[in-house]
Amino acid sequence: MDLREWQNKGNYFQFQGNSIFYRAEGHGENILFLHGFPTSSWDWYRLWPLLLKNRRLVALDFLGFGFSDKPRNIKYTIKMQADLVERIVEHLKLKEVHIVAHDYGDTVVQELLYRSQINPDYSKVKIKSVCLLNGGIFPDVIKPLRIQKLLSSKIGFIISAITNEFIIKKRFSSIFGLQNKPSKREWAEFWKVINFNDGKNISYKLSDYMNQRIKFQKEWTDALINTKIPLKLIIGTEDPISGTAIAESFEKMVPNPNVNLIENSGHYPQVETPEKVIQLYQEFLKKNI
């Protein structure tokens, strides 16, 4: 499925005066996909047809990402994106959901888990299970790229302005496994959706999530440790940012950890090794339906 087809089969709804892109398809158990930085819901295009049978799949572009609106005059926060997830669940009348998340989406899940624990009766999202893919859920052990550090710094707006497609492609390719680099066609699609509506120039605003991870580290880490919701972690081991160190911390800190490592896969296992991700996820899902 190419990017154009993905977009054409999508819809939009309103959130705080902004248009939000989403895909919803199928019938049955609800699976909600939450993407990572700096990409979009299209990250799930290889898993989509493999999971569609007897399930309702939903994926959205977070505000500021993909085909969703990208306002310049707001502060982008993980808590705001969690509000957005609550809104789409309400909009689509999803009584309960299984969540599959990656990278930035992992942190949004941590905020949702935190909310469900501090006030279970208020929680607007009833989560049946969570599967997390490579992401900085423990910010003290990740190794962000230099460009990530710069984008989230005080000079981030300058870095956004001077960074071009060549630089982003080089850094993006470096976080994939050695055998799974994006093809020219695939990169062209990634770049198109990253820079849709001049998205590159707000990347410094979006990158503030790295600072928020540190600010809210305790409550978001505690959310993983204390949750009673079935939780699974899948990690591509060749990820230089949030690979095996995240898996090791998860196994030490989370009670009864359910962790799988995928060799020869980097930061985007859902794109690089989709069949393996599907196999591991199907086994987990079967036990939690």
DSSP per-residue letters across 105-152: HHHHHHHHHHHHHH-TTT-S--EEEEEEES--SSTTT----HHHHHHT
Residues 200-246: tens digit of each pLDDT? 999 999 999 999 999 999 999 999 999 999 999 999 999 999 999 99
Cis omega (within 30 of 0) on the bond before 255? no
Amino acid at 185: R
pLDDT at 288: 85
Residue 123 has pLDDT above 80, yes or no: no
Distance CA 130, CA 113 (A): 10
Question: For residue 121, what are the domain limits?
Answer: 3-286
Say what the pTM is.
0.97
In the chain, which ranges are E strands? Answer: 11-15, 18-26, 29-34, 55-60, 97-102, 127-133, 231-236, 259-262
CA dist list (Å): 220 to 93, 115, 169, 259 = 26, 10, 31, 19
pLDDT at 155: 96
- CATH number of the domain within which 142 lies: 3.40.50.1820
Residues 164-205: tens digit of each pLDDT? 999 999 999 999 999 999 999 999 999 999 999 999 999 999
| Tally of structural domains, the chain | 1
Q: Are 193 and 40 in contact (CB under 8 A)?
A: yes
Residues 267-282: tens digit of each pLDDT? 999 999 999 999 999 9
Helix (H) or strand (E) holding 253: helix 244-253
Place of tokens 């994006």: 182
Residue 120 has pLDDT above 80, yes or no: no
pLDDT at 139: 96
Residue 119 has pLDDT above 90, yes or no: no
Q: Give the three-state DSSP class for 19.
A: strand
pLDDT at 157: 94
Residues 57-106: tens digit of each pLDDT? 999 999 999 999 999 999 999 999 999 999 999 999 999 999 999 999 99
Residue 133 has pLDDT above 90, yes or no: yes
**Do strands 11-15 and 29-34 pair parallel, antiparallel, or not at all (unpaired)?**
unpaired
In the chain, what percentage of residues exceed pLDDT 70? 99
The mean pLDDT of the chain is 95
pLDDT at 220: 98
Q: Which residues pair with 71 in a beta bridge?
A: none
CA dist list (Å): 157 to 37, 46, 119 = 17, 33, 37
pLDDT at 125: 87
Structure tokens at 151: 């984008």
Q: Are 142 and 136 in contact (CB under 8 A)?
A: yes
In Å, how far from its chain's centre is CA 239? 15
Residue 122 has pLDDT above 90, yes or no: no
Q: What residues contact residue 139 under an 8 Å CB cut-off, 6+ apart?
A: 210, 213, 214, 217
**Nearest Cα to 213, choosing from 98, 114, 92?**
114
Distance CA 34, CA 101 (A): 5
In the chain, what percentage of residues exceed pLDDT 90? 95
Which tops the pLDDT comparison, 196 or 289? Answer: 196
